[in-house]
Amino acid sequence: MSRWTNELRDIRTVMWKERKGLLWSQGTRWRIALPLLSPLFIAIYLPWQAGSDWLEGYVSLLLCVAIPLLFVGISIPESFAGERERHTLPTLLASRLPDSAILLGKMFSCVGFSIVILLPALLVGAVVANSVAWRGSVAFYRPWVLLVDLGVALLVGGVIGSAGVLISLRSETVQGATQALMGVFLVPPMILAFVLMFFRDTLLPWLQGLGFASVLGCILGALAVANGFLLFLALRRFRRARLLLP
């Protein structure tokens, strides 16, 4: 079997374990299910307000940012800090699983679960939008809108996943990793809001001149670059011999 086939097999094995752990751990189930109530609210309330715009415009992007943000943000600190806290990390590291398979398997699990949750939420949104703005036949998301929705969800999930793994690798407890991740994701939006507020007279006309599609393209590009950089960094920093904290 080729190296890549083996690597994929190992990633799937880690994902299998993560899925089992997530679905069968009672505490974790509730901890993850409760924050999903707010995206569920978005999936009902916003289409109710937006009507057909929910399916034709980019309002649904809110949902595609909220679900990965919450779901990956909550589950990724567990990835290594959780293993360390439960004393399962040394045994996992003593196995034959390669470094990259352990890291990517854990990250893909969190991002994958968020997409699995996003799809029914988008479906709920479509049902609500159809109910409030019935046009005689069932309307669905435009292919382009759906593609952007899924792309944004993957990129947001990827950025949070990579950053979360980086933090979790060096954290002793899940609580510590969660707090650090919250700090990381609160500071950039605050700086952005401050910049927008301070330079709004210059920035807003410039952004309006660019148009929504260009701004969205820039954001997607920035997310893709951040994704690649953080993933590279996480793979570089995953060194077995340094993960067992003294």
Partner 1 sequence: MTERQPAIVTHRLTRDFSSVRAVDQLTITVDAGTIYGFLGPNGAGKTTTLLLLLGLIDSSGGEAKVLGFDPWTHGSDLRERCGALLENPGLYDSLSAEDNLTFYARAWHLSPRIRRYRIRALLEQMGLWQRRRERVSKWSRGMRQKLAIARALLHQPSLLFLDEPTAGLDVVASHALRTQLAALVDAERITVFLTTHNMAEAEELCHRVAVIRDGTLLAVGSPEDLRAASSAHTVIRGCGGSVDAIRDGIDHQGTVIVNPDHGSDRWTLELDPSADISQIVRHLVLAGASVEEVSREKASLEKVFLDLMEEER
Instruction: Give yes or no for residue 98 binding partner 1 (CB under 8 A).
Output: yes
Minimum distance, C-beta of residue 26 to partner 1, in the bound complex (Å): 8
Largest CA distance in the chain: 66
3-class DSSP state for residue 133? coil
Residue 1 tokens read as 């079997």
Nearer residue to partner 1 within complex by CB, 17 or 53: 17
**Residues touching partner 1: how many (CB under 8 A)?**
29
Nearer residue to partner 1 within complex by CB, 135 or 239: 239
d(CA 52, CA 246): 57
132 counts as binding partner 1 under rule CB under 8 A:
no
What one-letter code names the amino acid at 32? I
Q: Which two tokens stand for residue 62?
A: 């809110």
* Contact call for residue 87 and partner 1 (CB under 8 A): yes
Task: Provide the minimum distance between the beta carbon of 119 and partner 1 in the complex, in angstroms, as a whole number.
Answer: 25
Mention every residue, 6+ apart, whose C-beta is less than 8 A from residue 106.
14, 18, 76, 79, 80, 165
- Is residue 16 near partner 1 by the rule CB under 8 A? yes
Binding of partner 1 at residue 28 (CB under 8 A)? yes
Based on CB atoms, which residue is closest to partner 1, 28 or 52?
28
Match 């968020």 to its residue by tokens.
Answer: 114
Q: 42-50: long-range contacts (C-beta < 8 A, 24 or more apart)?
A: 42/66, 42/121, 43/121, 43/122, 43/124, 43/125, 43/128, 44/124, 44/125, 44/128, 46/125, 47/125, 47/126, 47/128, 47/129, 47/132, 48/128, 48/132, 50/129
x/- map, 144-183, partner 1, by CB under 8 A: ----------------------------------------
Interaction between residue 21 and partner 1 (CB under 8 A): yes
Q: Of 13 and 52, which has the nearer Cβ to partner 1?
A: 13
Exactly one of 92, 115, 150, 216 binds partner 1 (CB under 8 A); which one?
Answer: 92
- Least CB distance from residue 95 to partner 1, whole Å? 5
Q: Which amino acid is at 14?
A: V
Instruction: State yes or no: residue 9 binds partner 1 (CB under 8 A).
Output: yes
Is 24 among the residues that bind partner 1 (CB under 8 A)? yes
Is there binding between residue 30 and partner 1 (CB under 8 A)?
Answer: no
Gap between the Cα atoms of 206 and 199, Å rounded = 11
Interacting residue ranges for partner 1, rule: CB under 8 A: 6, 9-10, 13, 16-17, 20-21, 24-26, 28, 86-88, 90-98, 240-242, 244, 246
